[in-house]
Structure formats: C-alpha cells, structure tokens
Amino acid sequence: MIELSDVTLSYGEIDVLQGIDLSLGADCDVVALLGRNGAGKSTLLSLLAGMTRQAAGSVSLDGTVLGADRSRLRRNGTWLPQDLRLDPQVSALAFVKHLLGLRGLPADDAAELFEFFGLGWAVRRPLGSMSGGERQRVALVYAFAADSPLVLLDEPTQALDPWERLRFAELLAERAARRTVMYATHFIADVEATASRVVVLHDAGIAFDGPVHALSATAPDVYVCEGDEKIMAHIADVAQVTGLARLGPDRYRARFATKCPPDEATRVEPTLTDAYLVLTSGLDR
Amino acid sequence: MRYHLRRAVRPRLLVPALLVAGIVQLGFTAGGTEIGDGFGPWGVARLYAVMTPIVLVGLVAVLSRLWHDDDLRSNWLLSGADRPAVVKDTYRNFGAGFLVYAGFVVCLGVFAAFRLSDTPGWSLPLLTITVVGPLSGGYIVLAAAYAVARVAGGAAARTAVVTILVSLDAINQLPWLPLSASATSLAANRALIWGASLKNLTFAEVAPSTGFVVARIVLVVGATLSVALVALRFRRRLYPR
C-alpha cells in the first residue's frame, strides 16, 4: 500500500502538487484520476511510480517511509506515461518481451493478453506498421503482463475508439480483482463504467477522493434551457454551463448548474460530468 | 540481444552488400590493386587496412538509430529498470552494434579465405590477424565512441571519435598503435607488431608481439569497463534524486 502524506512537488516556482494526502492499494480497485490539463495528474502518477520525488512530505510503501531511493516503488508498480515512445522497427511481441526482460519477469501471460486485446494477429508485426490505438493496446499488454500490484496509466484510452475503450473497461474489470489500477483520463463518461473510486485534482490539491457515486452526489441542481444568444450570455453570467448545443440560427440549448435558475429552465438529472465540471470550475453559483 | 539486433535492420542489410561489393571490387580485379596476385599475409593486411576504416566510418552513421539514447531511456523508464538491468541492456545494445561490425569483418575474412584457399597453413594465422587486428581494434574504437557519445550526449561525438581514430590510422599517424582499428596499417607493419612486416612474412611466421597483444587486451577490458561506467552514469540521471 502506498501512502502520500502532505506531499508537495514543484517545477521551478510552480507548485504542481501541494499538501497531497492519498492512500492507494489497500483494496484492489480501479481508481480514476481526473483533473484539468496541467492539474498535476501525470506528475502524481510519476511520483507514485517512483519516477520523481516530492519536495516535501513523505511517501510510504507498505508502512515504510521511503528515502531518496525509489526502486521499491518502481518494482511495485507498472507505469505507462502519456507520451509513449515505441521503436517502430521491432515487433509488438519483441517489445513487450524486452520490457518484461528488463524487469526480470517472464512473458508467460503476454500471448493471452495479446489475444484479449484483439492483437493476436499482430504480435509479429513491427510497431511502426500499427495504428496509434493498436500501439496503445500493445503498451497495455505490457502493463498487465508485468503483473505488478499497482498499475498506473496516464490517459490510456486517449487513442482508443469506443470499442477499444469498452474492451479496456472489460480488462480493468477482470484484472483489477488482483491489483489496484489508477488511470488518468478526460473521458468522464467512461469513469462511471470502469472505476470504483475517483480522485479529482484541482488547484494543486485533491478536490475530491471517494467512490464515484459520491462524486455524482456532489452535483448541484442542473437545468437545461433553450434560447437566443442573449439568454445564453445571461446564463453564462449566473450559472456554470456544463454543455452547450447550437440548434439553429441564434438558437441554443444550454445545460448548466446554478442555485438561481431562470424561470424558463427545466431541471434535469445531474451527471458525473456535471459534478466534475462544477467541482473544478472554482465557481460558486 | 535479439531485441537490439532486430533494431539494427539497416546496418545488417549492409553486411551482404559489403560482401557483394568486396567480391566485385577485389575478386574481379585480382592483380589490379596493391593487394596483388600473391594474396598472402600482405594481401590480408592491405585488405583490412583499407576496408576497416571505411566499414567503421560507414557503419557508425547507420548505427545511430540503434544506439539512440532516447529509445534506451524510454524503455528503461517504462520498465523501471534497476542498475544491473541498465548495465546489461547497455551491453546488449552496444553488443548488437558491434556484432553487425563483426559481421562485416567476418565477410572480409571469408573473402580473404577464398583468396587464400590454395595457400598452405593460412587458416590459423588469418584468424589471429583478424582477431588481433580489425575485430579487437573495431571493438576498442566503437566502445570508445559509444562511451564518449553517452557522456557528450550525441551521435556527432560518436562519429567524431570514430572518424578521428580511423583517419589517423588510415594515414599512419596514430600516436599509439594499439589504438589502430585494423592493426595492419603501414605504420603497424613498420613497428613490427607481427614479428616483421607482413610484406616479408609467410603465414607460418606470423606472430604478434606480446607487448602489442597485452596492450590490446588492456584496451579491450578498458573499453568494456567504460561502457559499463557510462551506463551507470546514465542510470544515475534516469530517475531524479
């Protein structure tokens, strides 16, 4: 189990993470990490993976406070960064075997995982001949073949189509029974289907940490309203807009959260996206 | 090692190309070059002295993809590689490049063997000249270039080291002969590192001087250690402390 206590991490004079308290790995679960661009999601994942160190606070692994050496953290977890660099000349299987070999791990599960990700046909193909989504799946094969207690994935579904994202959700459901998976994502709709816990980073701190349904419950009253540009401008002033569609010339439909709805607005059931947007908007309307 | 050898696709393609080029250039112009009709120890010496610098300079340019720091670094980060894994992988990465070079040298040796098939007692001396000459010399030059490039951080440094060393060797101006890539240059022959000049020796008389062989072994060990040292240096900078 990893515990972060009052962790601060800065790049130059900018505090990317500040006063972070987080516990991970007590239960085998899937944790979604949400936050706006630049909120510190990648930094938090690389800290948990042992790839970087905090400026202040402490990091513990299984009850032991870690010093400068983070090799135990690196052995404990498997980390896939957002910007994967894969050699285009080697085959998918050779690449996965090589990474596992560097960790001193066997590649017994690799063939089964290639099949699971629908890549059984591609194991001998050079990575350079694969699409971005296929390469992403190859990286996921490695992440799960390593069979570590913690898997840290930085936007693993960004290059995947909806079918592949569904397959990813299936894999998480199956594999998370034996480990903790934390993944950063901007696909909030997927979070409800895949994660049991959600951590939201905002303003360098943790704005929310808890079950997914608890985040949904934080959503304020949400309304929809149709109108022209003038009405939309008024709504934007008094509410947090969470969705906007153009219906025709000078005709729009807005979805928004507010404590003071206009008369013509209709109340609707809030979604996780509404809750997340309001939480990270920093506005109290 | 297989992973890194797979990554050396283009350099590997050059090995059969060299073999074909060698056969065309030397096989069909026998007597027309300074190697001459009597392809004895002197022929082998000239073959290696001329071809080794060309092979090394040509090869180091196409090895830059295989020996690219960012690719290695990316895989080490992805796997969270520890110290022994980084050192081992560095050796495998360097070794894959060296094996391609060794493939070139073997091609040259095979060609020489064809030319020598009528000469009695050629096989062991040819092997000795090949191992003490271009095989160990190329290893030293490539390992030095690999290590310097890791410290200086670029393929340009690697190319510069190889180019400087083999150019000085080719023009017989190396300050210290054990650094010679081929060990069969005119300067090496003048220094009698093969017992006498290979021009005046039969294969039965070929015997490298002990001092040269010892110096060569020391350099091979030093080059090997330097690769390990730069791997450790690289690994220290891999994960922020």
Whether residues A70 and A185 share a domain: the answer is yes
Residue A266 belongs to some domain of the structure: yes
pLDDT at A235: 85
- Which of A197, A215, A233 delimits the end of a domain? A215
Residue B28 has pLDDT above 70, yes or no: no
Determine which of A261-265, B34-38, B115-119, B209-213 has the lowest per-residue pLDDT on average: B34-38
Confidence of residue B16 (pLDDT cuts 50, 70, 90): low
Sheet holding A14-24, edge to edge: A14-24, A2-11, A56-61, A64-65
Greater pLDDT, B39 or B146? B146
Shortest distance, CA B14 to any CA of chain A (angstroms): 17
Nearest CA in chain A to B239: A51
- Token pair belonging to A261: 């709805």
Low-confidence ranges of chain A (pLDDT < 50): 285
pLDDT at B166: 93
Q: How confident is the model over B161-166, as a mean pLDDT?
A: 94
Q: Assess B69–A contact: CB distance below 8 Å, yes or no.
A: no
Whether residues A56 and A118 share a domain: the answer is yes
Q: How high is the mean pLDDT of chain B? A: 85
Residue B100 has pLDDT above 80, yes or no: yes
Whether residues A29 and A135 share a domain: the answer is yes
Whether residues A34 and A114 share a domain: the answer is yes
Whether residues A145 and A8 share a domain: the answer is yes
Residues of chain B contacting A68 with CB distance shorter than 8 Å? 241
Q: Assess A52–B contact: CB distance below 8 Å, yes or no.
A: yes
Residue B93 has pLDDT above 70, yes or no: yes
Residue A72 belongs to some domain of the structure: yes
pLDDT at B35: 53
Shortest distance, CA B47 to any CA of chain A (angstroms): 34
Q: How confident is the model over B177-204, as a mean pLDDT?
A: 87
Residues of chain A contacting B78 with CB distance shorter than 8 Å? 79-81, 84, 99, 142
Residue B11 has pLDDT above 80, yes or no: no
- Token pair belonging to A75: 């052995």
Whether residues A119 and A59 share a domain: the answer is yes
Residue A161 belongs to some domain of the structure: yes
- Which of A215, A234, A268 delimits the end of a domain? A215
Mutate to test the interface with B, among A54, A87, A153 (most CBs of B within 10 A): A87
Residues of chain A contacting B80 with CB distance shorter than 8 Å? 49-51, 71, 74-75, 77-79, 103
- Which of A193, A215, A237 delimits the end of a domain? A215
Whether residues A241 and A110 share a domain: the answer is no
Per DSSP bridges, beta strands A77-80 and A150-154 are parallel
Whether residues A207 and A73 share a domain: the answer is yes
Greater pLDDT, A147 or B6? A147
Q: Assess B6–A contact: CB distance below 8 Å, yes or no.
A: yes
Q: Do A102 and B75 touch (CB under 8 A)?
A: yes
Q: Do A99 and B79 touch (CB under 8 A)?
A: yes
Residue B34 has pLDDT above 60, yes or no: no
Nearest CA in chain A to B93: A98
Residue A10 belongs to some domain of the structure: yes
Q: Do B77 and A81 touch (CB under 8 A)?
A: yes
pLDDT > 90 in chain B, percent: 38
Sheet holding A205-211, edge to edge: A77-80, A150-154, A180-184, A30-35, A197-202, A205-211
Residue A285 belongs to some domain of the structure: no
| C-beta atoms surrounding A105 within 10 Å | 18
Q: Assess A144–B contact: CB distance below 8 Å, yes or no.
A: no
Q: Assess B107–A contact: CB distance below 8 Å, yes or no.
A: no
**Secondary structure (3-state) at A80:** strand
Residue B32 has pLDDT above 50, yes or no: no
Residue A284 belongs to some domain of the structure: no
Residue A47 belongs to some domain of the structure: yes
**Residue B134 in contact with residue B182, Cβ under 8 Å?**
yes
Whether residues A158 and A274 share a domain: the answer is no
Whether residues A14 and A104 share a domain: the answer is yes
pLDDT at A41: 93
- Pick from A21-30, B51-60, B64-73 the range whose average pLDDT is largest: B51-60
pLDDT at B27: 52
Question: Which CATH number characterizes residue A29's domain?
Answer: 3.40.50.300
Number of cross-chain residue pairs from A and B with Cβ atoms under 8 Å apart: 67
Cα dihedral sign for B105, B107, B108, B114? positive
Is ipTM > 0.95 here?
A: no
Range of the domain at A203: 2-215
Nearest CA in chain A to B82: A71
The domain tally of chain A equals 2
Greater pLDDT, A147 or B35? A147
pTM score, whole prediction: 0.83
Whether residues A130 and A257 share a domain: the answer is no
The span from the CA of A220 to the CA of A202, in Å, is 18
Nearest to A256 by CA among A275, A234, A240, A268: A240
Per residue, what are the HEC states of B130-160? HHHHHHHHHHHHHHHHHHHHHHHCCHHHHHH
pLDDT at B90: 93
**Residue A23 in contact with residue A2, Cβ under 8 Å?**
yes
Whether residues A251 and A189 share a domain: the answer is no
Residue A81 belongs to some domain of the structure: yes
Determine which of A52-56, A256-260, B37-41, B115-119 has the lowest per-residue pLDDT on average: B37-41
